[in-house]
């Protein structure tokens, strides 16, 4: 019988060569176990008998129709958490407060499946059809008061299921004081419904208490290296170097000189005009374009790029590039566009 793997004793190359299924991981004895215990206590305090089974998966998830919660495997060991942060720039759920928010969110999915809540007519009248197809991304209204705000990114606006789940998470959170926080918001109607709905199942055994643990880490046969290669490719536009190739075509790495200025200064000089023109022709929201342009400016600064002698050409190329990204975003929800996304 081979000796157990000591993850902490491995260098990065050795670690990346391991298959995820071979990682010696468990929720028991880790800080995750304490978080799950807290979740169960919150459910108990609300009079609910449901206790979702939690397991280690490839990411945060609740499999469709299954009353179970998948927690990312990388949170079960500090070495893997550090690796996730290095590879993906963040480790979602690494802080206890964030972990609890995500657990409450996933618990909303699980409890809906456990009691078949999403099939209720009133549920669908309040939140919309659960059968609605999920998209790869979603467009949101940042100032809408029709939805609660629990996870970052206005996630309640993604899908009717997510609207319910985020509302449930706010309702479940101890000391959230949702009655006062959401007073005057249309979202309060949803919170009151969730409170009523949970009272109707309080003290009752779930219709389904067991579920299939899809994407269990024990069944993932790929190496960590291949896992992160695929993950980074999928989320390519989230990384700082996403724009590098195109920025180097628009600007130059040559030092500033006669008729040459830093690209970041050039972008800031024409920012208002670029944003105004793209808003006029695309109808996209100003803050989306502005944030995109700021990210491009920051990356240009990090790459120490400058303009060539032809400022008019640089402005035309930059405007075309930003316009292309925005049009991709409008039609696909991604800056890189459908065709490039399919290649990944």
Where residue 250 falls among pLDDT bands split at 50, 70, 90? very high
Residues 306, 326: Cα–Cα separation, whole Å: 23
Same domain, 126 and 95: yes
Same domain, 155 and 41: yes
Q: Hey, which residues does 257 pair with through a beta bridge?
A: 260
Share of the chain above pLDDT 70, in %: 93
Same domain, 44 and 167: yes
Same domain, 297 and 211: no
Mean of the pLDDT values across residues 29-48?
98
On whether residue 232 sits in a domain, the answer given is: no
Cα atoms in the 13 Å half-sphere on the side-chain side of 315: 16
Residues 56, 75: Cα–Cα separation, whole Å: 9
On whether residue 1 sits in a domain, the answer given is: no
On whether residue 48 sits in a domain, the answer given is: yes
On whether residue 196 sits in a domain, the answer given is: yes
Same domain, 192 and 300: no
Contacts of 143 (CB under 8 A, 6+ apart): none
DSSP state for residue 216 in the 8-state scheme: B
Same domain, 284 and 313: yes
Q: Hey, which residues does 216 pair with through a beta bridge?
A: 57
Residues 21, 179: Cα–Cα separation, whole Å: 45
CB atoms within 10 A of CB 34: 11
Say yes or no to pLDDT of 246 above 70. yes
3-state secondary structure of 215: coil
Same domain, 174 and 252: no
Same domain, 89 and 190: yes
Say yes or no to pLDDT of 87 above 60. yes
Say yes or no to pLDDT of 291 above 50. yes
Choose the final residue of a domain: 219, 251, 272. Answer: 219
On whether residue 55 sits in a domain, the answer given is: yes
Mean of the pLDDT values across residues 28-56?
98
> What single string gives the DSSP state of each residue in 243-271?
GHHHHHHHSBSSPPBTTB-BHHHHHHHHH
Residues 54, 33: Cα–Cα separation, whole Å: 9
- pLDDT score recorded for residue 168: 98
Choose the final residue of a domain: 184, 219, 254. Answer: 219
DSSP state for residue 306 in the 8-state scheme: B
On whether residue 231 sits in a domain, the answer given is: no
Say yes or no to pLDDT of 33 above 80. yes
On whether residue 225 sits in a domain, the answer given is: no
Same domain, 102 and 214: yes
Residues 160, 204: Cα–Cα separation, whole Å: 25
- Provide the domain limits for residue 106: 7-219
- pLDDT score recorded for residue 337: 62
Which pLDDT tens digit goes with each residue over 296-331? Answer: 999 999 999 998 778 889 999 999 999 988 888 777
Residues 56, 90: Cα–Cα separation, whole Å: 18
Choose the final residue of a domain: 219, 248, 266. Answer: 219
- pLDDT score recorded for residue 203: 96
Same domain, 203 and 306: no
Residues 136, 63: Cα–Cα separation, whole Å: 16
Enclosing H/E stretch for 68: strand 68-72
Q: What is the pTM of this model?
A: 0.78
- pLDDT score recorded for residue 281: 86
Same domain, 131 and 65: yes
Same domain, 123 and 152: yes
Which pLDDT tens digit goes with each residue over 168-204? Answer: 999 999 999 999 999 999 999 999 999 999 999 999 9
Number of domains in the chain: 2
Average pLDDT of the residues of the chain: 90
On whether residue 125 sits in a domain, the answer given is: yes
3-state secondary structure of 241: helix
């Amino acid at each position: 019988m081979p000796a157990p793997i000591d993850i902490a004793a491995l260098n990065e190359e050795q670690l990346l060569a391991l298959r995820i299924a071979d990682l010696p991981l468990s929720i028991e004895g880790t800080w995750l176990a304490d978080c799950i215990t807290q979740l169960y206590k919150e459910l108990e305090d609300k009079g609910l008998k449901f206790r979702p089974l939690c397991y280690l998966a490839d990411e945060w998830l609740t499999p469709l129709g299954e009353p179970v919660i998948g927690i990312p495997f990388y949170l079960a060991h500090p070495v893997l958490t550090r690796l996730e942060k290095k590879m993906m720039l963040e480790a979602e759920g690494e802080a206890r407060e964030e972990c609890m928010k995500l657990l409450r969110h996933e618990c909303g999915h699980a409890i809906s499946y456990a009691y078949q809540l999403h099939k209720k007519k009133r549920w669908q009248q309040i939140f919309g059809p659960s059968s609605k197809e999920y998209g790869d991304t979603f467009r949101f209204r940042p100032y809408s008061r029709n939805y609660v705000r629990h996870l970052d990114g206005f996630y309640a606006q993604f899908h009717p299921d997510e609207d319910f789940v985020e509302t449930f998470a706010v309702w479940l959170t101890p000391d959230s004081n949702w009655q006062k926080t959401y007073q005057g918001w249309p979202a309060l109607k949803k919170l009151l419904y969730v409170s009523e709905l949970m009272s109707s199942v309080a003290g009752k055994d779930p219709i389904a208490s067991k579920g299939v643990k899809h994407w269990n880490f024990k069944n993932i046969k790929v190496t960590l290296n291949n896992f992160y290669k695929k993950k980074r490719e999928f989320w390519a536009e989230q990384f700082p170097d996403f724009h590098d190739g195109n920025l180097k075509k628009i600007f130059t790495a040559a030092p500033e000189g006669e008729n040459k200025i830093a690209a970041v200064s050039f972008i800031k000089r024409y920012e208002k005009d670029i944003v105004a023109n793209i808003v006029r022709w695309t109808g996209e929201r100003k803050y989306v374009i502005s944030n995109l342009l700021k990210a491009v400016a920051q990356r240009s600064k990090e790459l120490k790029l400058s303009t060539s002698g032809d400022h008019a050409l640089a402005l035309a190329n930059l405007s075309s590039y930003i316009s292309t990204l925005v049009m991709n975003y409008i039609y696909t929800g991604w800056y890189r566009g459908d065709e490039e996304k399919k290649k990944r």
